[in-house]
Amino acid sequence: MKNPINQKEPNFQIDIEPIGKRVYAEPGETLLDAAQNAGIDIISLCGGAGICNSCKVRIIDGRVSEVTRNERTAFTPEEIASGFRLACKATILSNVKIDIPPESLSTPQRLQLEGQEFKAGLEFGKECVIRYYDLELNEPSLTSLESDLSRIKSALEKKGLMEVHCRFEILKNLSDLLRTQRWKVRTVIRYLLDDQHGEVVAVLPVGTPLYGLAVDVGTTKLAAYLVDLDTHDIVEKIGEMNPQIAFGEDVISRIAYCNEHSGGRDVLQKKLVSTINLMIEKMIKKRGIKLERIVECVVVGNTVMHHLFAGIPVKQLGLIPFVPAIADEMNIRACDICINIAKASYVYMPPNIAGYVGADHVSMVMSTRIHEKEGIHLAIDIGTNTEISLAAYGKLICCSCASGPAFEGAHIHHGMRAAAGAIERVKILNGEIRIATIGEKPAIGICGSGIIDAVAELYKEKIIDYRGVFVKKEFLIGIGTKHEGYELVSADFSGNGKSLIVTRNDINEIQLAKAAIRTGIDLLLQETGITYDKIDKFIIAGAFGSYINIRSAIIIGMFPPLPIDRFHQVGNAAGMGAVELLLSLKMRKLTTSFSRRMTYIELTTCPEFQQKFISAMYFPKVVDR
């Protein structure tokens, strides 16, 4: 068995996005060698001959060898200028940060798209934001000289719409369309206020099916849903990594990027929008439909993502007191931010609550309905930033905690995001370690749910104590070195020939993250004078939350020790909320109304914050072992 401690310390550090994995390479190694040695499956159809172009990567930072002739053939000059290289041809010359596009990976990162779907129960024409009318218009003649648009307005007036505006973009093709369709058209109206006021956002041939788009913009991941506006079914869904990861792993570093680079905000906005457009393209291609049939869009995201999507300044979000530029709901013309859907359509963005509680959390609250339920409900969305809302006695209070990127595998010695080969489950039974990996691939690292399990098991087995200190040293390897830790997988059995360990520092990272979350929960409870045992329903939303082992989260003290049946893992509730907001005008109005009564608590201003945080760093003394 290889001893990881005696392995030669490699020379260069390679940070691989979007997987979030750090690997090491010898000088002279290619990027392909380094990635594959670390168990990352970059596609290399020609085996590194430089002729298949399947191993494309983008250099974000650092130096590699000169561009080769093969690469000049593989890429346009613009692509080369923006850092694209063939991983098999680029030799590493310094520490490097690279981005692997999804098409170059044979096993993409796991992205949570599912959530508990609702059935809105709306009838087309009632409560829907988008409604259509199939109109049969009179042809103009020398005795009927009304303009084309007036004909449509008069026909709509007869159907009860007293005030209808028409977007300029519609007029560009309207006259031709009316004539080719022999004066029978489907007129698509967007309602914002009531049943009598609307805006024409598309005029299409009669019978054209209509679609809407809902997008959840996470700091790490994007989820998009294509919805049939007639049946209200999600007909396609797709997940991608947020391309802004290449500019910083969390919202703070993205704000810093915007502050430090002139035009930085523009770069981040364009990256995000072009990825969303690609997602749209993939979905409509699969579905066989045209862009102009997507007539409405809803985008939710945390406040920083919300602002970056809309192209709004984010500088103030990084400065005390962290206020958003806008908290109200927004209706932006899709063409103003270059989202490729019907030209005259709109993007609706729900309200933000505060600098670190954004429209995605509002969407999650709406979707889980905690604002209207009886009893005491707590809803939490865990990410690099964790938002929590507590609904009790008619009050709705929320907070945000800086849980950091440890649950994404960052700052964990062998951490990685939830991709194939990541350890996602750990169990220690009678001294025997059992692990489960994503995709049942050989282990190459540990993702968030895996590290929570590992820490909980180490504590349960009394290998670490309540402070997180290793107390049974006989179970450790590499004692006294910087690689001292508990070995989950030996080098012989891992997918990258390296021993995969949990270090004291990893445990500390998890303690910091879980303490941030638990402090948030406890301070919200304290604010309403409720003890945790009174919580009727504890809702865990979000991609990461879907995979957490709740018992492990209780053991380490991240969640209070409630009976398991009070916990509900609901998946991407923010995404499901966005779908509902896409359809229902009533839900948009309700969301605006409850968001106005949501009280935001800035945790750092609570006098007990520091003390509670320090206490929450420890593991609970009473454990159901």
Site string for ligand FES, 421-440 (x = CB under 6 A): --------------------
Nearest to 426 by CA among 509, 538, 505, 501: 501
Give φ, ψ of 362 to 5 degrees.
-60, -40
Q: Does 55 bind ligand FES (CB under 6 A)?
A: yes
Least gap, CB of 197 to ligand FES (angstroms):
57
Q: What is the rounded CA–CA span in Å between residue 41 and residue 53?
A: 15
Q: Does 57 bind ligand FES (CB under 6 A)?
A: no
Least gap, CB of 238 to ligand FES (angstroms):
26
339 touches 224 (CB < 8 A): no
Q: Does 34 bind ligand FES (CB under 6 A)?
A: no
Least gap, CB of 498 to ligand FES (angstroms):
24
Q: What is the rounded CA–CA span in Å between residue 22 and residue 4?
A: 16
Candidate list 19, 23, 44, 246; residue touching ligand FES; CB under 6 A: 44
Q: Which helix (H) or strand (E) holds 53?
A: none
Candidate list 52, 60, 177, 477; residue touching ligand FES; CB under 6 A: 52
53 vs 615 by CB, closer to ligand FES: 53
Least gap, CB of 22 to ligand FES (angstroms):
22
45 vs 479 by CB, closer to ligand FES: 45
Least gap, CB of 99 to ligand FES (angstroms):
16
Q: What is the rounded CA–CA span in Å between residue 309 and residue 424?
A: 32
Q: Within 10 Å of residue 550's Cβ, how many Cβ atoms? A: 18
32 vs 204 by CB, closer to ligand FES: 32
Give φ, ψ of 481 to 5 degrees.
-110, 175
Q: What is the rounded CA–CA span in Å between residue 2 and residue 497?
A: 8
33 vs 195 by CB, closer to ligand FES: 33
Q: Does 86 bind ligand FES (CB under 6 A)?
A: yes
Which range of residues in 48-56, 258-266, 450-458, 473-481 is near ligand FES by CB under 6 A? 48-56
Give φ, ψ of 57 to 5 degrees.
-140, 170
Q: Does 50 bind ligand FES (CB under 6 A)?
A: yes
Nearest to 138 by CA among 127, 128, 150, 129: 150
Which range of residues in 41-49, 138-146, 280-288, 509-517 is near ligand FES by CB under 6 A? 41-49
Nearest to 342 by CA among 225, 231, 239, 200: 200
Least gap, CB of 104 to ligand FES (angstroms):
9
Q: Does 478 bind ligand FES (CB under 6 A)?
A: no
Which range of residues in 51-59, 192-200, 262-270, 591-599 is near ligand FES by CB under 6 A? 51-59
The radius of gyration of the chain's CA atoms, rounded to the nearest angstrom, is: 27
Residue with tokens 């991941």: 221
38 vs 284 by CB, closer to ligand FES: 38
47-52 long-range contacts, CB within 8 A, separation 24+? 48/88, 49/88, 50/74, 50/86, 50/88, 50/89
54 vs 316 by CB, closer to ligand FES: 54
Within 8 A by CB and 6+ apart from 147, the residues are: none
Q: Does 48 bind ligand FES (CB under 6 A)?
A: yes
Q: Does 291 bind ligand FES (CB under 6 A)?
A: no
Least gap, CB of 51 to ligand FES (angstroms):
6
Within 8 A by CB and 6+ apart from 383, the residues are: 218, 219, 220, 302, 403, 407, 542, 543, 544
Q: Which helix (H) or strand (E) holds 209?
A: none
Least gap, CB of 57 to ligand FES (angstroms):
10
Window 329 to 348, contacts with ligand FES (CB under 6 A): none
Q: Kindly determine how many residues on this chain lie close enough to bind ligand FES according to the rule CB under 6 A.
A: 13
Q: Does 111 bind ligand FES (CB under 6 A)?
A: no
Q: What is the side-by-side strand order in the sheet with 130-136?
A: 130-136, 184-191, 197-205, 163-166
Q: Does 88 bind ligand FES (CB under 6 A)?
A: yes
52 vs 120 by CB, closer to ligand FES: 52
- Given the rule CB under 6 A, which residues bind ligand FES? 44-46, 48-55, 86, 88
